Structure formats: structure tokens, C-alpha cells
Amino acid sequence: MVESMNEVKHRIASTKSTRQITEAMNMVQTVKLNQILGQTKTYDQYVSKIKAVVMHLAQTHMLDNQKPSSADSSTKSKTAYLVITSDRGMVGSYNSNAIRGTNRFIEKHTPNKEDYLILAVGGNGADFYKKNGADVAYEYRGVSDIPKFSEVRGIVKAVSQMYEDGVFTELYVCSNHFVNRIRSDFKAQKLFPMDREAVEESMDGANGAGSEVKTKVLSAEYDVEPSEKEVLEAILPQYAESLVYGAILDAKTAEHSSSSMAMKAATDNAGDLISSLELKYNRARQAAITTEITEITGGQEALNH
């Protein structure tokens, strides 16, 4: 069906309106991305110190046998996956990459549905796993665009209590890791049990001073004051909070980057479509003008005979 000139003109106006929206959204997401990157620098300084202390504790075997107080030999081993996604759409492949990466990780570690459960941070992940019949034992929606450290405390408290109650015996945090403005990779890191293996795994993704911690070797154990138990009770909750907050901050950075790229692509596509429609409109207009000239000339010729 051939479009009329008015229809093409209407499509041009509509597409230009869409381009204005995507341009504005791209600008907003770019501002949010720059803000969260600034906050990440401050966080990195804090988490490197926490990881340094915990790594020292791990090297002196103070983290050995870190098990929930309610765990016993009769408790069935169950793995939990804390999956971080967004609450909204228009973020490109961000959510699909996080869910696909999590699914592959689950298939590798716990292929039987009865052996794992999902803890969802973000509506997209919660809705996906509910729809697919997974055991979603916890969900949290409404994470801020620029997350505050205080936001994760409730999440960590709830998850830690579930671990202490024996709901699961192992926990992995699964999310997108921001590499740069055009690339993000899936990342899974062990949070519970908080043993030496889990701590060393977390060091693999550390930056700056944190990445140097792993290479340090201690030749002597600590003299602990007032006691090992009190030191662990003070530092381990902070460590858990820092890991979860870091994962959420990292995932949000990847989300804003993906959204910015998606809006830029949509803006570019709208521009290409507008150019194509304007060319089509101009050709149709030229054809209409040519037809009119031909008709006028033909009419004039008829009058002259």
C-alpha cells in the first residue's frame, strides 16, 4: 500500500518527537552514569580497606568453619542465588544478560531445581524466575538510581538471617559487572559461607589497593584483642554489606551504561528513519509537482489547439 504525502509527513513528525524523547533519556542516563562512577571511586577506597582486613583474617585461619549457628549435619545443602536486575525496561540487553549468565551459572552448579532458590533484587529478575517456576524466597524492588550504602543493610540483614536460619547453606551474588561504557560482563561471587575460599574469590574482582591484598602473605598470626569472636562479629557484617553494596553499585553502573547506549542507538535509528522518510516525502512531493506541471502544460496545449 502506497503511503500518501500526509501519512509520510505525519510519520516524520512522530519520529522526530520520539527522537527528542530518546535524546533526553540518553542525556539523563549519561548524567546518572557519571554520578555513580564518582560514587564508585569513594566506595573503592572503603572496600579495599575492609577486604584487606578480612583477607588477613582468612590468612590466619580465623575464618575457618564459618557456618550458620543453626546448621547441623542433617540440614540439606541448598544453594541460593542473589540475582541483581533492574526494575524497569529500556535498558538494552542488561536484564537478559544478567538472567542468561545466572541461568548458565546455575546449570553448572545446581542443575536440579529442588537444590536452589532465588533471592531477587530488581523486578525483572523476580518476575522472570516466578514465571518460570523457580523458588523465589526473597525479593526487593525499588533500588535507587544512585544507591546509598544504607539501602543494602536491610537486604543484607534479611539474607543473613535466612542463612543463619538454615534456609540455604551457600549463597552466590549474580549480577552484571561494568567494564566500560560500551561493555559489561556477567559476574558471580560467593558470599556465604564466608570462608577463605569465598574471600579469595572476591579478591579476583578487586580494584586498586584491594587487588594487591590477595598477594600479601602473613608469616605470623594475630594477637587478637579483645577476642576473635568479637572481631569477627564486628568486621564480617561490614564485609557482607560492602560486597552486596558493591555488586548493586556495579550492576546499577552497568544498567545506566546499557540504558544510555540503548537510547543513543534509538536516537540514531530515529535519525536514519527521519532521513529516509524525508527523502521519500521530497520524492513524492517532486512527483506531485511534476504531475501538476504536466497537467497544466497539457491543459494549455489543449487550449491552444
* 93-131 residue pLDDT tens: 999 999 999 999 999 999 888 899 999 999 999 999 999
Distance (Å, whole) CA 105 – CA 79? 12
Distance (Å, whole) CA 61 – CA 91? 43
Residue in this structure with the C-alpha cell 546455575, named with its chain if needed? 106
Given a cut of 60, is residue 218 above it in pLDDT? no
- Residue 22: exposed, middle, or buried by beta-carbon count in 10 A (0-12, 13-18, 19+)? buried
Q: For residues 13-36, give the mean pLDDT.
A: 91
Amino acid letter at 90? M
Domain boundaries, the chain: 27-260
Ramachandran category for residue 56: left, alpha or beta (phi over 0 → left; psi -120 to 50 → alpha): alpha
Q: For residues 288-303, give the mean pLDDT.
A: 74
Cα dihedral 25/144/208/153 (nearest 10):
-170
- What pLDDT does residue 220 have? 43
Amino acid letter at 285? R
- What pLDDT does residue 120 have? 95
Cα–Cα distances (Å) from 217 to 56, 59, 61, 206, in that order, read 8, 8, 13, 17
- What pLDDT does residue 205 have? 54
Given a cut of 80, is residue 217 above it in pLDDT? no
- What pLDDT does residue 215 have? 41
Q: Which CATH number fits domain 27-260: 1.20.1630.10, 3.40.710.10, 3.40.1380.10, 3.90.226.10?
A: 3.40.1380.10
Q: How many other C-beta atoms lie within 10 A of the C-beta of residue 23? A: 16
Given a cut of 60, is residue 84 above it in pLDDT? yes
Distance (Å, whole) CA 89 – CA 96? 11
Q: Which of 27-41, 47-61, 117-131 shows the lowest per-residue confidence on average (mean pLDDT)?
A: 47-61
The full DSSP string for 113-124 is: GGGEEEEEESHH
Average pLDDT over all residues of the chain:
82
- What pLDDT does residue 21 have? 92
Q: Which of 218-222, 236-240, 294-298 shows the lowest per-residue confidence on average (mean pLDDT)?
A: 218-222
* Residues making up the chain, counted from first to last: 305
Cβ neighbors of 31 (< 8 A, separation 6 or more) are none
Distance (Å, whole) CA 155 – CA 159? 6
Q: What is the DSSP letter of 75?
A: S
- What pLDDT does residue 284 have? 81
The C-alpha cell at 262 is 540503548
Given a cut of 80, is residue 158 above it in pLDDT? yes
112 SS3 class: coil
* 277-295 residue pLDDT tens: 888 888 888 887 887 777 7
The C-alpha cell at 199 is 574471600
Q: What are the start-end ranges of the H helices in 60-216?
A: 94-109, 123-131, 149-164, 196-203, 209-213
Given a cut of 90, is residue 71 above it in pLDDT? no
